[in-house]
């Protein structure tokens, strides 16, 4: 870590957050006793007490201006949530400053590692000065950096915690000033996706990330041609990107989930996975900066263009390759569908939307789900279980979407309850669309196996689609570790032996 941050320092003097003239006027005699008493009665801090979730636009904007003054310091981590900050503070005394909320109001706090846990101490900004809530009321500072320096140099204990080393922002933090939003591409329940541009710097990090994300897969057709838009739209100083932006009034839980998605995606580097350039947490709204898929969403693409069967087959192989990579990294996507498959510069599939994904586990069980029912496996409906093999089931549904050219959602004309009944039943839940290549039809049938242990792995699926491609990198090194845990109420061996089920009429 840079030794510059062994103490709290700044290359240039920070912008003052209070009027220096107050120092000289504090001791002056005040005129007009009655007027002084009235002023004292109405004098309040910048953020007076309000009911929970009650905000004042003027106060919110004033506080935003104050936080913008903190951005110049690398120990200020913006709106990053507790969970992410805890991973950055590794040693005793490591600390940083971040923005959060308390009773619905924005505040600034110090997060410090103390006795193997991270503790958080709110700061108070009052009358142009900073202090610590309920800790050192008698000492006030005009700038946060002065307060921090006092805590570090004088080793002032904050309920047992002593500040030792300021931890700088990671390199993947992107300043809001480097991002320009151009037009909105879409939106969901908690966020919006925009086309934007990212300022390039001399260190070339954006360029390296761009080259990595734009590289075609080994099986991409050489005649794929140029992109319709996106990474091919290069300027000398800016890179066109996709920006996932949180909507206003986000809760702490929503912010935590948003950051976890970005954290997971940062670890995934593959031609068939959307690349994350970084996150922008210094101001609100919080944003994730992604590569721009030049050819848009696969669902829209196949519905609009007359894609030949060979190209549809290529899409299925690309999706299997990306999912095989995720499976090898112990990532469960949980929301695989045509709507979450994008097309890059070379019209290659790139898997996106990891908002529901989990990593590091072979199987997870949840009580409440927001995933569309028509892509769920039977064990998910019955037990709330997700695994790589439930992703395999969703892959079969996605194959049906691709070869119907996404003209309708799965199980057309049926209610959700009727779709559930088919998913749980012994028969094949849906037949391959007309014109589906035999190899894809057989893969769909195998992926729709009632017993998850009898479904093929993504590496095996890719090998069947691309026999000449080396899939050894995607195969599990230790089957006992990567195979899903068998459940006590899983179908019996006699039930799983029904490899050929009658098709639905």
- In the chain, % of residues over pLDDT 90: 49
Residue 126 has pLDDT above 50, yes or no: yes
d(CA 504, CA 259): 43
Whether the CB-CB separation of 178 and 199 falls below 8 Å is answered with yes
> Interior CA angle at 293 toward 178 and 287, to 5°?
35
Whether the CB-CB separation of 94 and 39 falls below 8 Å is answered with no
- Which SS3 state, helix, strand or coil, does residue 144 take? helix
Q: For residue 76, what are the β-bridge partners?
A: 97
Count how many residues are written for the chain.
Answer: 505
Residue 2 has pLDDT above 70, yes or no: no
Q: Cβ contacts of residue 342 below 8 Å, gap of 6+?
A: 274, 293, 295, 296, 297, 298, 349, 350, 351, 352
- Which SS3 state, helix, strand or coil, does residue 159 take? coil
Chain-centroid distance of CA 291 in Å reads: 13
What is the sign of the dihedral through the CA atoms of 197, 203, 208 and 209? negative
- Region 229-233: what's the mean pLDDT? 39
Whether the CB-CB separation of 233 and 240 falls below 8 Å is answered with yes
The phi-psi region of residue 93 (left if phi > 0; otherwise alpha if psi is between -120 and 50; otherwise beta) is: left
Q: Cβ contacts of residue 321 below 8 Å, gap of 6+?
A: 217, 219, 270, 272, 462, 466, 469, 474
d(CA 70, CA 14): 8
> pLDDT tens digits, residue range 323-344?
999 999 999 999 999 999 999 9
Give the residue ranges of DSSP H helices in 267-383: 298-304, 309-328, 378-383
- Region 152-164: what's the mean pLDDT? 91
Q: pTM to 2 decimals?
A: 0.75
Whether the CB-CB separation of 243 and 199 falls below 8 Å is answered with no
When pLDDT is cut at 50, 70 and 90, the band that residue 233 belongs to is very low
pLDDT value at residue 265: 87
Helix (H) or strand (E) holding 465: helix 458-465
Whether the CB-CB separation of 264 and 172 falls below 8 Å is answered with no
Q: Cβ contacts of residue 503 below 8 Å, gap of 6+?
A: 427, 428, 431
Domains of the chain: 3-11+56-166 (3.30.505.10), 176-291 (3.30.200.20), 298-496 (1.10.510.10)
State the average pLDDT for the chain.
78
> pLDDT tens digits, residue range 203-226?
555 555 555 555 444 444 333 333
Whether the CB-CB separation of 424 and 382 falls below 8 Å is answered with yes
Annotated catalytic residues are 335
pLDDT value at residue 274: 94
> pLDDT tens digits, residue range 256-272?
788 888 888 888 999 99
Q: Cβ contacts of residue 64 below 8 Å, gap of 6+?
A: 106, 283, 284
Whether the CB-CB separation of 200 and 238 falls below 8 Å is answered with yes
d(CA 318, CA 323): 9
**CA 350 vs CA 208, 337, 345: distances in Å:** 18, 12, 10
Return the number of other C-beta atoms located less than 10 Å from residue 485's C-beta.
Answer: 10
Helix (H) or strand (E) holding 442: helix 438-447
- Provide the token pair at 470: 């080396």
Which residue would you say has higher pLDDT here, 242 or 57? 242
- Which SS3 state, helix, strand or coil, does residue 350 take? strand
DSSP for 268-297 reads: ---TTBPPEEEEE-SSSSPEEEEE--TT-B
């Amino acid at each position: 870590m840079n030794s510059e941050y062994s103490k709290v320092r700044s290359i240039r003097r920070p912008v003052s957050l209070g009027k220096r003239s107050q120092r000289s006027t504090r001791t002056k005699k005040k005129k007009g006793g009655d007027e002084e008493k009235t002023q004292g009665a109405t004098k309040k801090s910048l953020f007076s007490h309000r009911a929970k979730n009650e905000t004042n636009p003027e106060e919110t904007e004033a506080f935003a201006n104050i936080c913008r003054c903190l951005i110049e310091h690398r120990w200020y981590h913006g709106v990053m949530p507790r969970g992410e900050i805890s991973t950055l503070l590794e040693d005793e005394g490591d600390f940083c400053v971040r923005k959060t909320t308390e009773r619905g109001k924005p505040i600034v706090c110090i997060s410090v590692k103390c006795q193997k846990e991270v503790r958080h101490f709110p700061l108070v900004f009052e009358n142009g000065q900073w202090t610590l809530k309920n800790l050192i009321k008698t000492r006030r500072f005009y700038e946060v950096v002065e307060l921090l320096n006092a805590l570090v140099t004088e080793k002032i204990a904050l309920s047992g915690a002593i500040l030792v080393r300021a931890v700088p922002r990671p390199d993947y933090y992107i300043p809001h000033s480097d991002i320009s939003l151009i037009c909105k591409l879409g939106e969901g329940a908690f966020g919006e996706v925009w086309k934007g541009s990212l300022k390039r710097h001399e260190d070339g990090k954006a360029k390296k990330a761009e080259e990595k994300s734009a590289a075609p897969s080994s099986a991409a057709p050489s005649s794929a041609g140029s992109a319709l838009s996106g990474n091919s739209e290069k300027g000398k100083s800016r890179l066109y990107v996709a920006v996932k932006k949180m909507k206003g009034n986000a809760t702490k839980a929503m912010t935590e989930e948003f950051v976890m998605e970005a954290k997971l995606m940062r670890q995934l580097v593959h031609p068939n996975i959307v690349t994350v350039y970084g996150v922008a947490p210094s101001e609100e709204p919080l944003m994730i900066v992604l590569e721009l898929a030049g050819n848009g969403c696969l669902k829209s693409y196949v519905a609009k263009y007359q894609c030949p069967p060979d190209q549809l087959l290529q899409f299925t192989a690309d999706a299997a390759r990306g999912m095989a990579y995720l499976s090898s990294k112990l990532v469960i996507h949980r929301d695989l569908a045509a709507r979450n498959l994008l097309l890059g510069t070379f019209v290659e599939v790139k898997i996106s939307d990891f908002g529901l994904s989990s990593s590091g586990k072979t199987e997870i069980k949840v009580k409440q789900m927001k995933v569309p029912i028509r892509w769920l496996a039977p064990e998910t409906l019955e037990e709330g279980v997700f695994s790589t093999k439930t992703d395999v089931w969703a892959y079969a549904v996605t194959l049906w979407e691709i070869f119907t050219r996404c003209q309708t959602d799965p199980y057309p004309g049926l209610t959700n309850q009727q779709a559930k009944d088919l998913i749980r039943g012994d028969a094949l839940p849906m037949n391959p669309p007309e014109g589906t290549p035999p190899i894809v039809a057989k893969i769909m049938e195998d992926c729709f196996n009632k017993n998850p242990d009898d479904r093929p792995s993504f590496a095996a699926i890719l090998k069947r689609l691309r026999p000449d491609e080396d899939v050894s990198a995607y195969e599990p090194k230790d089957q006992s570790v990567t195979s899903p845990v068998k459940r006590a109420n899983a179908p019996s061996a006699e039930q799983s032996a029904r490899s050929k089920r009658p098709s639905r009429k």
